[in-house]
């Protein structure tokens, strides 16, 4: 194989395996059919960030060899998958609702700390000027809605949250 690249110490450029700049692309047999798939794994991760179909070679049996253009596209796609996953997780762990309390805008935020053994959550009320009005611990499965936030504010932000 005559690929001219600036090889890093850990770079590998084989037909079915490329490892370069923190990513590994491995062409694997597709378990669901007779075709091939490619798995993209970032260094330090146990599971691939992306697994997708891979093109057959000219003989219609073997996979097409990896190349730089395909590798770069796969890295870009895998990075996008990771970014979207991180955004989704952040959205699941942090929620905000705006309410009105005595004519003033208040932001009520729910922040969940995931932990397999002891997950926790915090409910915080913040005034429009950025000052913290209240902060209490709540159950990690607390359902923050506009009405629950409004009830909490209307009752003076009690520290004991049953909801």
Question: In 10 A of CB 137, how many CB atoms?
Answer: 13
Question: Among 23-27, 28-32, 109-113, where is mean pLDDT lowest?
Answer: 28-32
Backbone angles phi, psi at 44, to 5 degrees: 90, -5
Structure confidence at residue 161 as a pLDDT band (50, 70, 90): low
* Pairing of β 50-54 and β 132-138: unpaired
CA angle 71, 76, 79 (to 5 degrees): 120
How far is 56 from 35, CA to CA, in rounded Å?
7
End-to-end CA distance of the chain: 64
pLDDT digits (tens, 9 = 90+) for 100-115: 999 999 999 999 999 9
| Cα diameter, the chain | 74
- What residues does each domain of the chain span? 12-92, 93-154
Give the mean model confidence (pLDDT) for residues 85-106. Answer: 95
Tally of CA atoms within 13 A in the half-sphere of 96 that contains its CB: 8
Q: For 36-64, what is each residue's pLDDT tens digit?
A: 999 999 999 999 999 999 999 899 889 99
Exposed e or buried b per residue across 33-44, where buried means at least 16 C-beta atoms within 10 angstroms of its C-beta: eeebbbbbbbee
């Amino acid at each position: 194989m005559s690929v001219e690249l600036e090889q890093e110490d850990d770079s590998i450029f084989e037909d079915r395996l490329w490892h370069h700049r923190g990513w590994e692309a491995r062409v694997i047999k597709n378990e669901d059919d007779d075709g091939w798939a490619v798995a993209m794994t970032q260094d330090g991760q146990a599971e691939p960030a992306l697994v997708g179909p891979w093109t057959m070679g000219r003989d219609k049996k073997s996979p097409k060899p990896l190349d730089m253009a395909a590798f770069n596209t796969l890295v870009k796609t895998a990075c996008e998958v990771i970014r979207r996953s991180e955004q989704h997780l952040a959205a699941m762990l942090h929620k905000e609702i705006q309410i009105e309390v005595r004519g003033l805008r208040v932001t009520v935020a729910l922040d969940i700390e995931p932990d397999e053994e002891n997950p926790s959550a915090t409910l915080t009320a913040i005034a429009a000027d950025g000052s913290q009005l209240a902060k209490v611990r709540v159950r990690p499965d607390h359902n923050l809605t506009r009405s629950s936030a409004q009830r909490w504010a209307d009752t003076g932000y009690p520290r004991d949250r049953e909801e």
